[in-house]
A and B are shown apart, each in its own frame.
Chain A
């Protein structure tokens, strides 16, 4: 299939949304994002559903299981499968989390990498190999975390910058993750943003989170985006321009109309940034 790069505002592709989307994709939604771990290698109705939309809209491939910072050997078979899946659906961007997700087996969730020189080098080598196999630069996403692994030798901003520089990869900026971490660890979100290699930003995530009774924020993607996160997105656009941005919603999925209202906010912020730049 012809390559279709994503631009503008997009929405996470979910089973629950397929029927309403078939009835009509809202104007504001210019692309979709999916996790290859949930959709590649499927037959039947699921395969036909993805094809129906990938023939009409760009898709971004956002991975979950690669475990870029993990101790187990890099899953090259997974990467080759992802590559053919991306070709099949005209996808041009693959991003993964800057995290690890298993020991000698999968744990199936995203865990924080210790911020050390050796961990950075380890992760860079794996990113390079992944890029060799995919034949393209990949984006790495700043992750949310609840534990700061002990023994850090650098700040997270320095860690991410080193990896993007040494790995010659792209930055996938998640503004909700910055906000969640800034609240849970008491740092300034804007200062953190400015410490990132923003010039390498290829893609942006925005999402909602859950607040526990004791005030801890959990990155659930299960609620509406809060105002401070919209502000952070706006601040990011002022620095990097209207980079393609996806609304992630994975739990408590409301109707399409409600989600579209949030995608429209992304689109409006992008338009405003374009106009400011032009003025």
Chain B
């Protein structure tokens, strides 16, 4: 059974809104009125994108940015009903969509980095029970659940109008929401990233995590790693990335 006429109208209308310059205006719709919708709907989308990606926008310039916004609206099908997830759909488009427009090699990672702030700011995750003063070396460590780890090929946190990297430089960042509900970014080295990864996957004490890393690195001096680990864990607790230990 074919779709009813009213849906044929809806499909034609939607096609035109997505790509007003290359698809015909639906029959029987005046140009002036159609233009209202074309403008309202595209402005609505660009409002969400502009708010989330100010650095991306600035770095490729207004014309290229708008062309990319339009290609996103035209080619990508967003299935999320939540407006705040429009930027996440844009990230997915950058990673999975077919984009003909040439973009800097670091562009998708920079966008992901900018989106992480919004994502962590609004992340819905209950705070698990914990002892804020517990011994991080001897008790299983409780991480702040409102966090994302970004593993990037490019130094995204340094990219700006003054710095457009030419060579990749592996970069790991933790983005988290502290007790004052502020979003923080911390650049971490691969060993620290591994440490956090272990604490995140299973209940692990600081000592267990450090000794495991000692094995993985074929390190000859476990004592040195334990001192190093304790320092990092204490810093992370002070910064709010670690909440404490399991009760």
Given A114-B5, A147-B33, the answer on whether A43 and B146 have CB atoms closer than 8 Å is yes
Picked from A70, A75, A150, the residue with its CB within 8 Å of the CB of B10 is A70
Interface pair A105/B44, CB less than 8 Å apart: no
| B17 CB within 8 Å of chain A | yes
Q: Which one of A42, A102, A105 contacts B122 once the chains associate, using CB atoms below 8 Å?
A: A42
A218–B34 CA distance with the chains assembled, in angstroms: 13
Mark B1-27 against chain A: 1 for CB-CB distance below 8 A, else 0.
Answer: 001111101110111011000000011
Specify the main secondary structure of chain B where it touches its partner. helix
Of the stretches A116-124, A230-238, A253-261, A266-274, the one at the interface is A116-124
A106-143: contact bitstring with B at CB < 8 Å (1 yes, 0 no)?
Answer: 11110101101011001000000000000000000000
A45 sits at the interface (CB 8 A): yes
Alpha-carbon distance A122/B10, docked complex (angstroms): 13
Residues of B within 8 A of A45 (CB): 121, 181
Is B29 an interface residue, CB under 8 A from the partner? yes
The contact of B83 among A38, A104, A113, by CB within 8 Å, is A38
Asked if B37 and A111 make an inter-chain contact with CB atoms under 8 angstroms apart, the answer reads yes
Residue of A37, A40, A44, A109 contacting most chain B CB atoms (<10 Å)? A44
Contact of A46 among B14, B32, B79, B122 (CB under 8 A): B122
Q: Is B177 on the interface with A (CB-CB < 8 A)?
A: yes
A119 near B4 with CB under 8 A, answer: yes
A105-B7 Cα distance, complex, nearest whole Å: 14
Is A146 in the interface zone, CB < 8 Å from B?
A: yes
Given A37-B82, A106-B80, A147-B34, A113:B125 Cβ within 8 A: no
B77 to A104, Cβ gap below 8 A? yes
Complex partner residue of A106 from B11, B34, B78, CB under 8 angstroms = B78
Interface string of A241-264 (1 = CB under 8 A from B): 000000000000000000000000
Partner of B17 from A75, A107, A113 at Cβ < 8 Å: A107
Q: Do residues A149 and B37 form an inter-chain contact, with CB atoms below 8 A?
A: no
Whether A71 touches B10, Cβ cut-off 8 Å, given contacts A43-B125, A147-B30, is: yes
- A43-B83 in contact (CB<8A): no
- Please, which residues of chain B bring their CB within 8 A of the CB of A105? 76-79
A216 close to chain B: CB less than 8 A: yes
Inter-chain CA distance A118–B78, complex, in Å, is 27
In the complex, whether B40 has a CB less than 8 A from a CB of chain A is yes
Contact A106 to B10, CB < 8 A, known contacts A41-B124, A43-B122, A44-B181: no
- Cβ distance B145 to chain A, nearest Cβ, rounded Å: 9
Q: Does A103 contact B (CB under 8 A)?
A: yes
Question: Of all chain A residues, which has the CB nearest B40?
Answer: A109
Report the bound CA distance from A45 to B13 in whole Å: 39
Shortest distance between the CB of A119 and any CB in chain B (Å):
4
CB <8 Å contact, B34 and A44: no
Q: How large is the interface on B (under 10, 10 to 19, 20 to 34, 35 or more residues)?
A: 35 or more
Determine how close the nearest CB of chain A comes to the CB of B34; give it in whole angstroms: 7
List residues of chain B with CB within 8 A of the CB of A40.
82
Given contacts A147-B33, A147-B37, A218-B36, contact A41 B82 (CB under 8 A): yes
On chain A, the residues within 8 Å of B231 by CB distance are none
B81: interface (CB < 8 Å): yes
Q: Is A100 an interface residue (CB 8 A)?
A: yes
Residue in chain A with minimal CB distance to B125? A43
The verdict on A95 contacting chain B, using a C-beta distance below 8 Å, is no
When the two chains form their complex, are residues A42 and B5 in contact, meaning their CB atoms are under 8 A apart?
A: no
User: Could you say which residues of chain A place their CB within 8 Å of the CB of B30?
Assistant: 147
Interface residues in A32-64 by Cβ distance below 8 A to B read 37-38, 40-47, 64
Q: Give the nearest-CB partner of A108 in chain B.
A: B44
Known: A37-B82, A109-B40. 16 other contacts (CB 8 A): A41-B124, A43-B124, A45-B181, A65-B81, A71-B10, A71-B11, A100-B10, A105-B76, A108-B41, A122-B6, A146-B37, A147-B29, A147-B33, A149-B9, A216-B32, A216-B36
User: A residues near B, CB below 8 A?
Assistant: 37-38, 40-47, 64-66, 70-71, 75, 78, 100, 102-109, 111, 113-114, 116, 118-119, 122, 146-147, 149-151, 214, 216, 218
User: B residues touching A (Cβ–Cβ < 8 Å)?
Assistant: 3-7, 9-11, 13-15, 17-18, 26-30, 32-34, 36-37, 40-41, 44-45, 76-84, 86, 121-125, 146, 177, 181
Closest 4 CB pairs of A and B: A105-B77, A150-B28, A43-B124, A65-B81
